[in-house]
Amino acid sequence: MQVKSILSLFVAFSMLVPTIATAAEASQGVGGLSGTVAPKLTMFDYTGGGGAARAHALQRYNYQKSWFGNNISGAYLDLDLDLAYSDGEGTSLSLERRGDGLTNQAGQVRFDTDKVGVSGYYNHHRTVAVGIDYITRPNNMPGGTDTSYTGAASGYVARFNDDSNGSFFRIDRTNYGAGAKLKRALLGDMASLSVNHDGYRRVGNTYATYVAGGSDFGANSQSVRWRGYDRPLNETMDRGSIGFAASPMGLFQFAYDGSFEKFVSRAQNYRMNDFAGPVAAAGFAVGAAAKQNALHFIPDSTLTAHSVRLSKTFAKASLAAGYGMSVLGIDSFTGQQVAAAYSEGKIASRNFFVNGKVRIVPSVEAEAYLKYGNRRNDSTFPAGTLLTPATNEKLDMRLNTLKTVEYGVAATLRPTGSKSSLAAGWKRLTKNRGFTLNTNAAGAKAERMLYEGDSHTNEVYLKGTARPTDGVTVHLTPSYEWSDKVGSPIDAKQAVNLKADAIYATADGKLLSVYYGYKDKRNGALDYTGGTTAAPTYSVGQNLRSILHSAGASLSAAVTTKVNSSVSLDWTQNDFQSDYITSDIRRYTAAAIAFRTRERSSSVIDTFSLGLATDWQTTDALKVSGGYTLSRSKGNVATGLVATELGSTVDGAVDNDLHSLALGAEFAFTKALSLAGQYGFDHYKDNRYASLTGSGHTVTTSLAYRF
Amino acid sequence: MTCKNKFIIATMFSALMSIAFVSRTAAQETCTSCHDAAAASHAIGKHGKLDCTKCHSGTEAHLANPGPDTRPAKPDAAACQTCHMKDARRMNWEFSDHSKAGLACTECHGNHTPKAAKGVDAAAKFKDSSSKLCASCHKEVLARFSMPSHHPVKEGALSCVSCHDPHAGKQASLAGKTEQCTKCHQSVRGPHTMEHPPVSEDCTICHNPHGSPNRKLLQVAQPALCLQCHSLTDLRHAVTGTANGRISGAVLRNCTACHGGIHGSAFDQHLRY
């Protein structure tokens, strides 16, 4: 270590000595060091469930890795920490760590006084969801590649080609950050200042698919166009931010936030030519013009953002306003972008809001708000032959601006002395999309898309809260939406919504809650127009309806003074109906096009979940617990013709369930020392993707020392 | 980082720590002479130095005639705001959905020590304490985290408060939904040469961030999700490439198997890569 480094550490330590001494003295008072240290040993074993070493369905979001490098069976040691130090006079230091193995852990440290705060955190987590996608790749699924595709002159893509080299598909994400805050007590009770750094690193391998263009691999190349390959990830994001808040003379509150964020992708960017080998092996060749085609290019980017907010609270009124702006720009370009002089990828956003609330009479409050947003695409346009409205298939539509204006009024009746309230309100959302369409005679035409410039949606609603008696709370929120201008299929031409819930809590800890949600959204206001632009023939409308039900009930209670139990049941149903519409030719042609509604198809999927849990303090020293959860999803992805076709694959329906059983016991040797053990059994059954069916056993033992 | 920079940072950090331990005020002792438990919990909490009357109103009557009948009121949101209104993160509390629902700060926060979630059922075994608290009320959202595809909140990768600010509402937000999502998912934000308009408008058009029975958090399974906005061209999607020809399950099962650049592309208008 260099002399200067030693010197800096010495100076830092010497300046901290008074601090440590002060804290040590204080710890002899009412404060002190407290916490829990819990080393633990986890053993696990999985059977079935997917591609063994590649990805186990049960490890999709909860990957476990043995110290011996195996993710199917093994063991690992870890440590949970929860430490807190307080000097009893407002100064505290806390350190927490949660460890569930090398691939799932988190920690944070925080130091606070009344004048400053310093904190840091990290979180590391692995997912293998992409591995499950790989298992279900088209050429590994019944029907994934239709045998009717015989190759040359058969449709556009004949079969799927897997160029994977056997990577382990996983994504490791590590979030980290640190910050410091100078609190108001340090700055004359008028202002606070914070500085933070947040970031993450995301590394791993994913699976990407693509389809080459009609001439990219030469004539009659249907059998080799559709491909998949291992796509590495290596990304970092670092964001520095500063926040300043002040209350000048106590007159109003002011806050400024600014940030500078840099995203960098260091992984290899593949081009079509990187797969020239397997294409050639199949008897085709990557064309000269296609060699540089970038596959799933991820640009580096920089985001800068600034915002100011003001708020003021009067005796009977409150006001709040804010303005924010951001600029997102890309910092790296593909060879084709450079060749086309596409030198700027830039999105500028501006937002502001103003909110006001006034108490008209003691029991009635009125409020109004306005919110505005403007997203502007300032990227290079047009850009050579890469992006131009003059050439067919070089631009369908460019969204130049997206302006949203939302405003509304509401009144709330809250009788004096009552905890119940009723609010009635109206709000309106308008979206204005400024876009450029292709101008080529053969280019994509507006009447062949279901996307228009303006959306105007209104909503009236009631929000009721009733607390008729101690412990009972009821919420009821019905609303009705309608659009006087529909701009996209996802708009609600009309929608009826209802949210209701009731909670009953008793003084002895019983808690009963029920809820119900309903949303019925319809939109049949958008059409495709057949024929040509000059001579339209007839319209074919898309008719959408989406009905969403959700309901549930839960009860938790102390059955006896030593037994606590809970039960919950939830149900969600998504019923989505739309028309299956085809056209005889592509929209990229000047010729007359014919749209046709093949049929009406619906997708209805139900999801149930059941949870049971209990814990029993059998003796002063021994506590046992048990829990069981079931989550079941079942339904059809489509009906009719689409369902018939999907029936040849595994994707025609969703049909799976997950059972989880947890049994635990904790024995306290003393108040300070306890030993806990937990056994978990999980079983995932997938009746469609049978290879994903599997089970897992996990045993965790931990020794907790509290002080 | 150079040694000089390390020295400066270490010195500044040390100076901050030293400043932090300067003068403190004494807590009121009248209340703690009876309320031992409160005295102990106050001592380790962030409100350790505060006078009890700063938060609890009605203490005069209680001091004059101690007993349960004259118990001082628990602090409501207004009492907390006398100090916390000045926090940047809480200055728009008045316009938040939680405020409009009549919630008091104490329903989520323990004034003396961190609040433990009550009535949390077996399905709510989150690894972080704040998500447990959220789940004790938002049961409908909790149910979605049990669906086959979900954000790994239960598994500890993130927390409800990673995305939601419980102290502010949508009316007083300066970020759109897409901007909220791309605070973590930068790789899909582009800006792309070829954009997919719903990606620019709102991620939740296609994805349900809490959970879904469909893969990749999709609101509706493919192909229905895509077919609500797009017609299928027989020329490209039918087996024989002819008008009104059969479109097989191989094409219908997963639109993004071919249109893999669904979030945007640097080159391809058809979003295939």
Beta-carbon separation of A4 and B3 below 8 A: yes
Quote the Cα angle for A313-A318-A319, to 5°: 105
B9: its two tokens: 């940072």
Cβ-Cβ pairs closer than 8 A, A with B, add up to: 507
* Mean of the per-residue pLDDT values of chain A: 91
Q: State the pLDDT confidence band at A29, using cuts at 50, 70 and 90.
A: very low
Residue A22 touches partner B, C-beta closer than 8 Å: yes
Which of A109, A211, A404 to probe the B interface (max B CBs under 10 A)?
A: A211
Nearest Cα to Cα of residue A495 among A514, A520, A513, A475: A520
Instruction: Using DSSP bridges, classify how beta strands A494-505 and A472-485 pair: parallel, antiparallel or unpaired.
Output: antiparallel
CA distance A99 to A441: 62
Span of A164-168, A255-259, A540-544, A693-697 with lowest mean pLDDT: A164-168
CA distance A322 to A326: 14
Nearest Cα to Cα of residue A216 among A149, A165, A271: A271
A604: its two tokens: 């209805």
Average pLDDT over residues A605-626: 95
Assess whether pLDDT exceeds 80 at residue B48. no
**Residue B234 CB partners (closer than 8 Å, separation 6+):** A582, A583, A584, A585, B241, B242, B243, B244, B245, B247
Burial class (CB in 10 A: 0-12, 13-18, 19+), B114: exposed
Write down the pLDDT at residue B110: 80
Beta-carbon separation of B193 and A342 below 8 A: yes
Average pLDDT over residues A696-707: 96
Instruction: Give the ipTM of the model, two decimals please.
Output: 0.93
Beta-carbon separation of A309 and B92 below 8 A: yes
Q: State the pLDDT confidence band at B114, using cuts at 50, 70 and 90.
A: low
Nearest Cα to Cα of residue B269 among A433, A444, A582: A444
Q: State the pLDDT confidence band at A140, using cuts at 50, 70 and 90.
A: confident
Instruction: State how far residue A382 is from chain B, nearest Cα, in angstroms.
Output: 10
Instruction: State how far residue B124 is from chain A, nearest Cα, in angstroms.
Output: 9
Give the Å distances, CA to CA, from A246 to A255, A256, B173: 6, 9, 19
- Helix (H/G/I), strand (E/B), else coil: A274: helix
pLDDT digits (tens, 9 = 90+) for B156-183: 999 999 999 999 988 999 988 888 999 9
Beta-carbon separation of A296 and B260 below 8 A: yes
Write down the pLDDT at residue A17: 38
Instruction: Using DSSP bridges, classify how beta strands B232-233 and A563-583 pair: parallel, antiparallel or unpaired.
Output: parallel
Q: Are B225 and B206 in contact (CB under 8 A)?
A: yes
Write down the pLDDT at residue B84: 76
Backbone angles phi, psi at B105, to 5 degrees: -55, -35
Assess whether pLDDT exceeds 80 at residue A38. yes
CA distance B111 to B11: 34
Q: Are A492 and A457 in contact (CB under 8 A)?
A: yes
Span of A295-309, A497-511, B44-58, B230-244 with lowest mean pLDDT: B44-58
Average pLDDT over residues A482-495: 96
Average pLDDT over residues A261-289: 96
CA distance A130 to A171: 8
Assess whether pLDDT exceeds 60 at residue A664. yes
Q: For residue A3, how many other CB atoms are within 10 A of its CB?
A: 8
Beta-carbon separation of A192 and B88 below 8 A: yes
Q: State the pLDDT confidence band at B30, using cuts at 50, 70 and 90.
A: confident
Q: State the pLDDT confidence band at A151, using cuts at 50, 70 and 90.
A: low
CA distance A224 to A157: 8
Beta-carbon separation of A91 and B171 below 8 A: no
Average pLDDT over residues A282-310: 96
Nearest Cα to Cα of residue A633 among A566, A695, A687: A687
Write down the pLDDT at residue A487: 96
Q: State the pLDDT confidence band at A20, using cuts at 50, 70 and 90.
A: very low
Average pLDDT over residues A320-327: 97
- Helix (H/G/I), strand (E/B), else coil: A528: strand
B247 to chain A: closest CA residue: A645
Nearest Cα to Cα of residue A198 among A170, A172, A179, A224: A179
Question: A584 pairs with which residues across the strands?
Answer: none
CA distance A677 to A665: 5
Span of A5-14, A27-36, A684-693, B69-78 with lowest mean pLDDT: A5-14
Average pLDDT over residues B202-208: 96
A400: its two tokens: 């130049």
The answer for A 59-98 residues in CB contact with B (under 8 A) is 61-62, 84, 86-92, 98
Span of A136-145, A193-202, A346-355, B48-57 with lowest mean pLDDT: B48-57
Of residues B227 and A153, the one with the higher pLDDT is B227
Q: State the pLDDT confidence band at A52, using cuts at 50, 70 and 90.
A: low
Cis peptide before B148 (omega within 30 of 0): no
Q: Are A299 and A332 in contact (CB under 8 A)?
A: yes
Average pLDDT over residues A361-376: 96
Element (H or E) spanning A615, and its range? strand A595-617
Write down the pLDDT at residue B57: 76
Write down the pLDDT at residue B49: 65
Residue type, A197: H
Beta-carbon separation of A138 and B257 below 8 A: yes
The answer for A 561-590 residues in CB contact with B (under 8 A) is 566-568, 570, 572, 574, 576, 578, 580-587
Q: State the pLDDT confidence band at A137, using cuts at 50, 70 and 90.
A: confident
pLDDT digits (tens, 9 = 90+) for A57-87: 898 898 998 988 788 899 999 999 999 998 8
CA distance A453 to B264: 20
CA distance B36 to A89: 17
Q: For residue A440, how many other CB atoms are within 10 A of its CB?
A: 18
Assess whether pLDDT exceeds 80 at residue A475. yes
Q: State the pLDDT confidence band at A1, using cuts at 50, 70 and 90.
A: very low
Chain A CB contacts of B186 under 8 Å are: 235, 237, 261, 263, 301
- Helix (H/G/I), strand (E/B), else coil: A647: coil
Give the Å distances, CA to CA, from A347 to A239, A330, A519, A576: 18, 9, 34, 34
* Residue in the structure block whose two tokens are 């419980």: B166
Average pLDDT over residues A315-332: 96
Instruction: State how far residue A545 is from chain B, nearest Cα, in angstroms.
Output: 10
Of residues A359 and B101, the one with the higher pLDDT is A359
Write down the pLDDT at residue B9: 56
Assess whether pLDDT exceeds 50 at residue A117. yes
Beta-carbon separation of B49 and A114 below 8 A: yes
Residue A440 touches partner B, C-beta closer than 8 Å: no
- Percent pLDDT > 90 in chain A is 79
pLDDT digits (tens, 9 = 90+) for B74-112: 777 777 877 777 788 889 999 999 998 888 888 888 877
Write down the pLDDT at residue B127: 85
Element (H or E) spanning A640, and its range? helix A640-646
Q: Are B91 and A253 in contact (CB under 8 A)?
A: yes
Residue A477 touches partner B, C-beta closer than 8 Å: no
Q: For residue B188, how many other CB atoms are within 10 A of its CB?
A: 16
Beta-carbon separation of A127 and B174 below 8 A: no
Chain A CB contacts of B17 under 8 Å are: 15-16, 19, 111, 116
Assess whether pLDDT exceeds 60 at residue B192. yes
What secondary structure, in 3-state letters, does chain B show?
Answer: CCHHHHHHHHHHHHHHHHHHCCCCCCCCHHHHCCCHHHHHHHHHCCCCCCCHHHCCCCHHHHHHCCCHHHCCCCCCHHHHHHHHCCCCCCCCHHHCHHHHCCCCHHHCCCCCCCCCCCCCCHHHCCCCHHHHHHHCCCHHHHHHCCCCEECCCCCCCCCHHHHCCCCCCHHHCCCCHHHHHCCCCHHHCCCCCECCHHHHHCHHHCECCCEECCHHHECCCCCHHHHCCCCEEHHHHCCCCCCCCCCCHHHHCCHHHCCCCCCCECCCCCCCC
* Residue in the structure block whose two tokens are 């460019």: A398
Of B24, B143, B189, the CB nearest to A570: B143
